[in-house]
Chain A
Amino acid sequence: MSNPALLILASLADGDKHGYAMMVDIRGFAGVDLGPGTLYGAITRLEERGLVRPMASDDRRRPYRLTAAGRAHLKDALAALEPIVRVGTRRLRRA
């Protein structure tokens, strides 16, 4: 899976993170190296859609938080993926 937006939402699901923390987390759980441009492009769109919001920070490393809409979106996206994963896995076992 390489959808940067979905990876960011999944990363923020267990707490607020700034850009670098997201990058490290995503590399850890998905094995995907998101480039800085890709990461911030996705953050920009997610913030515009109200799925994440920036937290107050004195540092340049501003953390982001998943909004209620973002949580619902992530839940829907994962639910849509679930049957694909289930069926695909079952068919691979048969083959």
Chain B
Amino acid sequence: MEDLLRIDLTTRTVTCNTIAPDLISDYIGGKGIGTHYLLSEVGPDVAPLSPANKLIFVNGPITGTTMFGGNRYGLHFLSPLTGGYGECTSGGQVAPQFARTGFRVVIIEGAADAPVYLEISENGAQIHPADGLWGLDTYEAEAAIVARHRERWPHAQACVIGPAGERLVRFACIENNKWHSLGRGGSGAVMGSKKLKGIVFHGDRKVEAARPDKFKALVKDLAARAKDDPAVAAYRRGGTVNMVRLINGVNAFPTRYWRKGHLDDFEPLTTETMIEKHLEHNGVCPPCLLQCIKHNVIREGPHAGLEIDGPEYETLYVFGGLCEIVDFGQVMHLNDICDRLGADTMTAGNLCALAIEASRRGLIDLQLDFGDADGVAAFLESMCLRDSALGDLFAEGVLTVERELGLEGVAVHVKGMEPAGYDPRALKGMGLGFVATARGACHLRATFYKAELAGFSDPQVVEGKAATYVDWEDRLCIMDTLIFCRFYRDLVPWPFITAVVNAALGTDYSSDDLHAVANRIITESHRFNEARGFTAATKERLPSWLTQRATDDDLHQTLDQGQMDLMLHEYYGLRGWGEPVLEATVGSGRP
């Protein structure tokens, strides 16, 4: 069966092929197969916003099945934000429709000469003019595209870019079902550079496991274990908002542009405030048991009537912690701006806080301060729309901003991507994750805060930490090949996830075999960056703002470069990558 779809927007040609079976057994699917195609087909001389960059959409062997948590699709691309490896996944309702087209991989290359959108189905792809769509925000665009197809295809689902992607904002994202994002690394800008406004998916092909009886038994087992699981209960009650109280409690909540790990007046950002003042109902990305989605509404005040799914913990940390806008409703409003314009909240919020820092230092001609919700909202829009000189500068991302404003060492990022909401001075394993991850300062590859908070690794001990980190990163990499929702990580230990791979594909892997598969995939993502001149010295360092300063709170926690070097040295050794190059010999700017 043909399961690889290629669309060339320059020549407007569509071809279908079959993925070689040994690729599936070597890479499984999802992140594995996506990384393989990215490394094979996007060479080191390609510019991120050129037609030669590719959008490689993927699903996994459990997508479109009855497996709870098999509800996400993925994307791999050369990132315009970092100049390196780009990856993301998104939930909502697109993934099952994508899987039911029968295509495991969709590769989009070239660029259209006028705005278009794609219709992808069991029959391949059709390229449609995006008349009346270019310029719409993401909510309007998605609704309009779906409306053009729903009468014939009632289950059609779409992903789109907003004005930020159209304007090639380097942290623009792709949105689906309004509030679900292929969020980080600027995939929306790549899509905008191809003049591709959206993609609608519809399909009726059944997705079946190779060993259906075994697969069914595994689904049942997962449901039984989830029933009384405390993490499932926590997701159901408060979603990721729960993390505000916990992470603030361990002094790892990045506050006041990474000066502090603790926000004194944090209660307005907590689950309890959300439940009391805003929560309307939970939601799911089907099929799912967790109900992590929190649909919130603002009932009074300046944004009364606004309702969104969210905000998630990461959005609360960037606007509530870094910008010190300590108001749940104001954070919802800022989240809504990002969603409608199609921008990653994590990078956008970090850049807003960096703008505050720059303003207070007199480096920019804008008055902006911590806690200024209206000022941050206006600046956020100007970045996402590039409608001012300053907004245009910040739309280029942190590598350009730090260079132009002389903020190297102050601006907090790795490879040009800002970290997630875990101060690595309090949770040192997060420091390793932020520097070692191919796409930038990402928390998702190992979610190692969990290991450190749960006692599997002492947060303050660096020696020997990399071994536990690698075990977690390998298992979560296999999750990404199946595309299991990350929130299922407690429910998919090695024996279970190995059984799922084997039941889905008909293989007989051991867990050790899957460790080798994970290492292969993670190594290829690393090689992709190496081919672009990334080294440990230039691209795997936290800024001195973190490594030469203690947190400015009661605990005064530190993380020095020697500790970082030790963890990275151990990590490289475990991965089989030799010694990290720790001395800089070239500049660190984005190619």
- Please indicate whether A and B come from the same complex rather than being unrelated chains: no
